[in-house]
Structure 1
Amino acid sequence: MSITESDSNTSQSDVSRRYGAARKGMAPRTQRILIFGALLVAFATTVWFTISLNVGRLEYQDVGYTVVSDSRIEVDFEVTKDFDDTAQCMLHALDDSYAIVGARIVTIGPHEGGGESDRSNYYNSELLTEYRAVTGIVDSCWLVD
């Protein structure tokens, strides 16, 4: 038993009547516009998150230290913050067994500047110690309201 061409057309029309006409896909131009729009939104979102996470950010790092005497050490460090912010940093002097032999909280007030590179400044602070220190570090920094 073979299906003739007229039977094939009849089955196509039966299917069309039962389920509706076959849907056509989007035009290629519409697809390109939608893909470009989605990429543009993703890029804009990434830029927004990057900028919003970096604004108001506080960073710090040790630069060096100088053992002045058995009861004194100087700690050099860098702090990156917004110009109008006030930060405090906890400095520690450590002995050879990593015990804290001196500590100091340093307040860093607002400063002048205009560009992104002006957000970073270097500081030097002296700590008094109970015993001879072998290193000086910045333990932590935080913003003060």
Structure 2
Amino acid sequence: MSTPESAGSPATFDVSSRYGPPRRGLSPRAQRVLIFGSLLVAFATTVWFTISLSIGRLDYQDVGYTIVSDSRAEVDFEVTKDFEDTAQCMLHALDDSYAIVGARIVTIGPHEGSGDADRSSYYSAELRTEHRAVTGIVDSCWLVD
């Protein structure tokens, strides 16, 4: 029969001899440096995304519409873009069931300006319709290369 000492009892079994000594954690100074570095990288990434998203950005919104007759509608809209960019916008005239009764693509070329406030301009475009429209909208706008 074997004795408890020879069978590897918990009193004689040493885990560190099998797996090595326990790992040491980071020192408090190393932890502070790691946290500060992570915060710095997060801040730099946020600044980079903010700047890169504002360059080459195109925004548009409906301002109003006028139903001129049964076969014409006029859409007023605002476009915000960089001065040197050319954009195209798809305009729709809709009837009371939201069906498209008129459509037009409008090209907006480069324009002059010096500040952020000058990036926005108001436009008005006339659309021919198949029958009487009840509203006019800007469906989408995109930059032209």
Q: What interval of TM-score do these two structures reach, taking the shorter chain for normalisation?
A: 0.7 to 0.9
Measured after TM superposition, the shift of residue 115 of structure 1 is: 2.3
SS in 2 for 1:131: coil
Give distance in 1, aligned partners of 2:69 and 2:23.
85
The superposition leaves residues 17-65 of structure 1 with CA deviations (integer Å, 9 ceiling, x where unpaired) of 9988877654433322221121011110121122212321222121111
Matched, 1:94 2:114: no
- CA RMSD of superposed structures (Å): 2.4
SS in 2 for 1:139: strand
* Matched-pair identity in %: 82
Measured after TM superposition, the shift of residue 82 of structure 1 is: 1.2
What 5-or-longer segments of structure 1 have no aligned partner?
1-14
1:43-122 maps to which residues of 2 (within 5 A)?
A: 43-122=43-122
When normalised by structure 2's length, the TM-score is 0.77
What 5-or-longer segments of structure 2 have no aligned partner?
1-14
When normalised by structure 1's length, the TM-score is 0.77
Q: Which 4+ runs in 1 deviate beyond 3 A?
A: 15-27
Residue 11 of structure 1: aligned partner: none
Q: 1:19 to 1:70 in 2, by over 3 A?
A: closer
SS in 1 for 2:38: helix
Q: May I ask how many residue pairs the two structures share in their alignment?
A: 132
Residue 142 of structure 1: aligned partner: 142
SS in 1 for 2:44: helix
Give distance in 2, aligned partners of 1:139 and 1:74.
14
Q: Which amino acid aligns with 1:135?
A: T
